[in-house]
Amino acid sequence: MAKTLALPKEQLVKQALTQMQNTLADNTWTDRQKLALTCRILFENGHDSGLAGQITARGPQPGTYYTQQLGLGFDEITAGNLLLVNEDLEVLEGHGMPNPANRFHSWVYRARPDVNCIIHTHPTHVAALSMLEVPLQISHMDLCPLYDDCAFLQGWPGVPVGNEEGELIAAALGDKRAILLSHHGQLSTGATIEEACVIAQLIERAAKLQLLAMAAGVIKPILPELGREAHDWISKPKRHAAAFNYYARQNLRQHADCLN
C-alpha cells in the first residue's frame, strides 16, 4: 500500500532533499583535478574556442588562484600543468604564462567572496546570442538555476585585459551566478568548481534553446514563482556535484590523462 500519495508537495520536497543529502556520493578529486576535468568537460560540450577563455579556482592562499597556461587548449589541460598565480598574474607555481585576460577574474574574486570558481568561455550559441545584444531568457525548467540569476552586460568594453574591464564586469555581475557579455561570451561562477561547471553547461544550453525558440516564434515567460521554485530545487550543492560527477564519468572514458 502506497504511503506518500496523499502527502503535500512541501513534505515530498523535504523528504527528497534529505534522501539526496544522504545518498548522493561526493567525489574525492583535488581542486586541480576538478579544474582539469572541467576543462575537458567544457571542451566536449561546445565551449572550445581555440585559446579563448579562462577557468580559475581560488588557490591555497588569499589572493591566489589556479588557471591554465596560455597556449594550451582546454583538451590539453591536466592537473599537473595548471598554474598557480597571484592577483598580478605572477606565476607562483608551474611553468608558462597565464592568459592576460585572467585579470578580470581578480576583480570578480575581490567583489564576490562567496565565489570560489570562475569559468569564462566563448561557446558557439552564447557567442551567437551575444551578437544580438539581448539578455538570456530562461523559460524552461531545466535551465532554472539561471532564473533571475544571470546578469547582462550590453556594452562591450573591448578586450578584457585592463583593470577597467575587470571593474566593469564585476559590477555588472553583481550578486548573480552568471553573466552574458555582449559581443563576447559568458562568465559562470560557483561556490564550488562543480557548481561553476554545471552553470557553464547550462548557460550554453540556454542560449541554444533561446535561439531555436526565437527562430520559431515568441518566447513565452514562465511564472516567476515557479521559476524561483525550480531555481531553488535544482540549485542544491548535492545536485550540482552529482551532475559534475556524471559529466566527469563521461569524459574520463577518453580524457583520463587529465588527472595526471
Is 1 a residue whose pLDDT tops 90? no
157 pLDDT band, cuts 50/70/90, is confident
Q: Which of 255, 259, 260 is nearest to 45 (CA)?
A: 255
**Beta-carbon count within 10 A of 59 CB:** 18
pLDDT, tens digit, for every residue of 163-192?
989 999 999 999 999 999 999 999 999 999
**Residues paired with residue 86 on neighbouring β-strands, in sequence order:** 64
pLDDT of residue 205: 98
pLDDT, tens digit, for every residue of 207-218?
999 999 999 999
The mean pLDDT value for 17-21 works out to 92
**Beta-carbon count within 10 A of 49 CB:** 15
Cα atoms found within 13 Å of the Cα of residue 251, Cβ hemisphere only: 24
